């Protein structure tokens, strides 16, 4: 009997799995996959729930992997929702609820595709599913923990397809063949407090931060590369916490976020930021400290057999040839790429993280059909 991905999506949405809570989602999937002959292992780490499932023998010559997450962001104001955010209700052709788009529908589609595929045409090889509860959080103990466990246990994927929503408007129009890197820099400028009428007796950290931020924001990092748009730097906050108009504060903080292409690394950009901060410190006499958080490096899976396989399957099922893109934010593909070639393809993501998150019901079985075709063609 074919596994219904719409019903499974609804069941998953009804699991309140706000990061890092599992909410019953992985228990549900583990039961379904075990019944289908998958060997399942919970790979929880530091309270984060993760599931590894493999059909076929370990060390098979060909192993196709899927990766996804069941954790979701908070619902916000539940009263603002048209439908219960954890109700999994179907209305007007849409399935409503937190995670309906990002990405319980994607997980349901690849689970259903994998279960049907191994039951109908057992492949010469293995199918691995890695499902985490820590993609929307710090992402330290999710897919990273699964990959660490796999390395220790001798488990490996030959290639991997991540089921994140990738299409802007219509199912089939875009897949991700890479992602920009992401990093955040936090600056703290420490000056000398004083009266605004006597600025020569103070050392103004706000002026120093303004000078630094202007230089950073007006600097052109690059003009883009063959597969990437130009890198961007966004100023996200400048804070002094100063309510007085006649006081020069002693402290000012600022934060910038950089999304960068393959012309840069987190280290090279950190060096540039530090040099600019040191330059302003020398000009103003205001001490500027910096800390940096690198969320992920840029990466690219060069167009080749995997991207062609996915693109061919998408076109066969939808009539649309997907564009290979590196746009958008980060995903767990940034971790998988160190393990094996990885591509991302999933549903339309317009409502993800919004109030009234929802997915068009018809897209879910269509996505399952794409994933199932990918498996058939990979093992053909």
Q: Which residues are catalytic?
A: 71, 135
According to DSSP, residue 361 is labeled T
Give the C-alpha separation, 131 to 304, whole Å.
Answer: 26
What SS3 class is residue 228?
Answer: coil
Torsion of CA 169, 161, 367, 18, to 10 degrees: -80
According to DSSP, residue 116 is labeled H
Give the C-alpha separation, 119 to 139, whole Å.
Answer: 33
Burial 135-150 (b: 16+ CB within 10 A, else e): bbbebebbbbbbbebb
The alpha helices in 92-204, defined as continuous H runs, are 105-120, 143-153
Q: How far is residue 322 CA from its own chain's centroid?
A: 20
Nearest to 166 by CA among 182, 178, 157: 178
- Beta-carbon contacts of 362 under 8 Å, excluding residues fewer than 6 positions away, are 93
Do 47 and 133 contact (CB within 8 A), yes or no?
Answer: no
Pairing mode, strands 251-260 and 232-239? antiparallel
Nearest to 14 by CA among 1, 2, 3, 27: 27
- Beta-carbon contacts of 317 under 8 Å, excluding residues fewer than 6 positions away, are 172, 366, 369, 370, 373
Do 179 and 331 contact (CB within 8 A), yes or no?
Answer: yes
Give the C-alpha separation, 163 to 102, whole Å.
Answer: 9
């Amino acid at each position: 009997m074919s596994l219904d991905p719409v019903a499974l999506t609804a069941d998953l949405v009804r699991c309140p799995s706000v990061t890092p809570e599992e909410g019953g989602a992985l228990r549900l999937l583990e039961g379904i996959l075990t019944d289908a002959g998958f060997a399942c292992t919970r790979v929880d780490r530091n309270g984060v729930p993760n599931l590894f499932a493999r059909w076929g023998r370990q060390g098979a010559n060909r192993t196709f992997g899927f990766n996804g997450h069941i954790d979701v962001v908070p619902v916000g104001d539940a009263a603002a929702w048209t439908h219960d955010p954890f109700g999994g209700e179907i209305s007007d052709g849409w399935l409503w609820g937190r995670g309906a788009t990002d990405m319980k529908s994607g997980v349901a589609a690849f689970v259903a595709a994998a279960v049907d595929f191994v039951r109908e045409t057992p492949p010469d090889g293995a199918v691995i599913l890695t499902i985490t509860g820590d993609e929307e959080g710090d992402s330290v103990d999710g897919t990273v923990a699964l990959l660490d466990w796999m390395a220790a246990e001798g488990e490996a994927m030959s290639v991997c397809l991540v089921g994140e929503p990738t299409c802007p408007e219509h199912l089939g129009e875009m897949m991700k063949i890479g992602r920009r890197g992401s990093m955040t820099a936090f600056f703290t400028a420490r000056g000398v407090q004083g009266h605004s009428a006597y600025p020569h007796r103070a050392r103004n950290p706000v002026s120093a931060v303004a000078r630094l931020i202007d230089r950073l924001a007006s600097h052109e990092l690059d003009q883009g590369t063959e597969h990437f748009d130009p890198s961007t730097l966004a100023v996200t906050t400048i804070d002094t916490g100063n309510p007085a108009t006649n006081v020069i504060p002693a402290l000012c903080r600022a934060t910038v976020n950089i999304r960068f292409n393959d012309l840069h690394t987190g280290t090279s950009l950190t060096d540039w930021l530090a040099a600019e901060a040191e330059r302003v410190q020398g000009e103003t006499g205001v001490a500027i400290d910096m800390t940096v958080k690198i969320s992920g490096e840029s990466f690219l899976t060069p167009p080749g057999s995997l991207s062609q396989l996915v693109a061919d399957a998408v076109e066969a099922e939808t009539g649309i040839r997907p564009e290979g893109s590196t746009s958008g934010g980060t995903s767990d593909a940034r971790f998988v790429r160190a393990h094996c070639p990885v591509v991302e393809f999933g549903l339309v993501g317009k409502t993800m993280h919004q109030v009234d998150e929802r997915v068009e019901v018809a897209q879910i079985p269509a996505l399952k059909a794409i994933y199932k075709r990918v498996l058939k063609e990979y093992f053909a």
